[in-house]
Structure 1
Amino acid sequence: MFSKLATTVVFLSSFTSVALSHSFVQQIWANGVHYDGWDANGDLSAYPSTTPAWFTANRGGGPINPFELRDPMIICARGGSNANTSAPVSPGTDVRVRWWMAGQTWPRGHHGPVIDYIAPCNGPCSKVDMTTLKFVKIAQRGWIDSSDPGNDGEGNWATDLIIDNDGQWNIRIPSGLAPGEYVLRHELVALHPAGKSTGPYSKEGAEFYPQCINLKVTGSGTKQVTGGVDARTLYTGGEPGFMLNIHETGPSHPDYVVPGPAVWSGALTARSFEA
């Protein structure tokens, strides 16, 4: 694991110009215990040792773009590096996260899906090389209905549910999951610029906001994660679900398919959201 302070020095000059218009996982709950997340707008040299949230030098929580989807930054955010601790959690229970920044949860116009993945660390997640992580999808939610909470004619999406629930989202840890340490990869995708995409790995297009959390699954489960993939192979950005022009297609998208792999068979009973 490389130095978080060194990472800060490298990335600060590149990203201080990013407008602080996005949010990030500010709070985490697991097994009834509350943890502060990593504040991407705070003091980037003062990473708290008690948070299971991965460090990122990405000032303001800005997006990853389609042309960057093959870069390690898509794994756990721009400038990401391992959290120092892992939050204990029981299989079959929910990890709750809260997105927040400067008085808002998530920008209402940033409609899109919410997607959750998990990868075994095969040892301490504080020391794992993130490029070796193999993720399976454990939950996803995309278009909800044609109601229009943003009054912009673009429909009601999973990200709108986060806003309506005071920034909160629940991720069900699969029942029977074998004990050990895992990285939970929780991701929001914003479709407001998706219509600008020219295809796979386009310079412009959908915006990706991954956040990673270290978990220590307890209990005596026997379910092993199999069939996982490198996060750098999850998407190309040219999938129909990432090229949808929500500004021109109206609020109804009943055929919308969340991109990426199918939900892992070991998590088919996962519940991704609870009001």
Structure 2
Amino acid sequence: MGATGEEALGTLRGSPIPPGSSTAPHPPPTSNPPPPLSPRPPPLSFMISQAAPTQLPPDDPPKLAPMRVGHVANFFTFSVPKKIDDAFKKLRYVDYSLLARSSREAPAKEEGSLVWTDGQVGIKSKVMSALDEGDIDLIDWGAASETAEMKIREYHGAARAEQLRAHHRNVVLISRSYAWAPARSYDKQIRQLVASDTAHDLTDLNQITSQWYAEKAQAGSSSQQARLLHPSRPLPSSLSSSSSSWAGSTGGNPSAKRFT
């Protein structure tokens, strides 16, 4: 049989080409073979589960103010409207019921209702009557007085703040001896006096009031002690009967005996 063309070509090149093989030449080998394909990465959920937990540094504890024994937070201090704060800054009269009201109302709402009085001596509310301004109990008044002392100390120094504090103590003493209504009236009159004349010195008046209260308390204690040492005893039966007959003859009017 005759040789095919491929076999003849292979014979010419010196090597026989097997039947069915390609006659295309092979590319020369390269010095840098291509890198192998990287494997498929694992799912993200698997990577998260295998990851080591992150160790965060512990948070430093916040630096808090030390607790003061007996200290009670005053909410009135955190809700002073700007106009009332300006009144303290100008040493004007501030009805303490305004502080109690502003602590319970929205600051913006209360701020819009505050106006200066005639003569700029004090500040008042357009939505509160004079009766409402005086309607404050002793507990709210005490919290408002502490706020006033703090503001006066901030704007006018320790001397005026201590005078106001002594005045507030006298108001509490008067309320114990009489009632809250006259004590509240005394507080209003004295603070309006200071607002009318900022040069007024409360030292002497505070001392006089304190001395008066001390003398009154001592007199009350002496009277009570005397009643304990010498309790009243009923009259003897003879004096009691004669006294009754005398009262009956005069119609119960002691002055009638003098003119009979």
- Normalising by structure 1, what TM-score? 0.25
Higher radius of gyration, 1 or 2: 2
Structure whose residues are more often strand by fraction? 1
Higher RCO (C-alpha under 8 Å, 6+ residues apart): 1
Structure whose residues are more often helix by fraction? 2
- Normalising by structure 2, what TM-score? 0.26
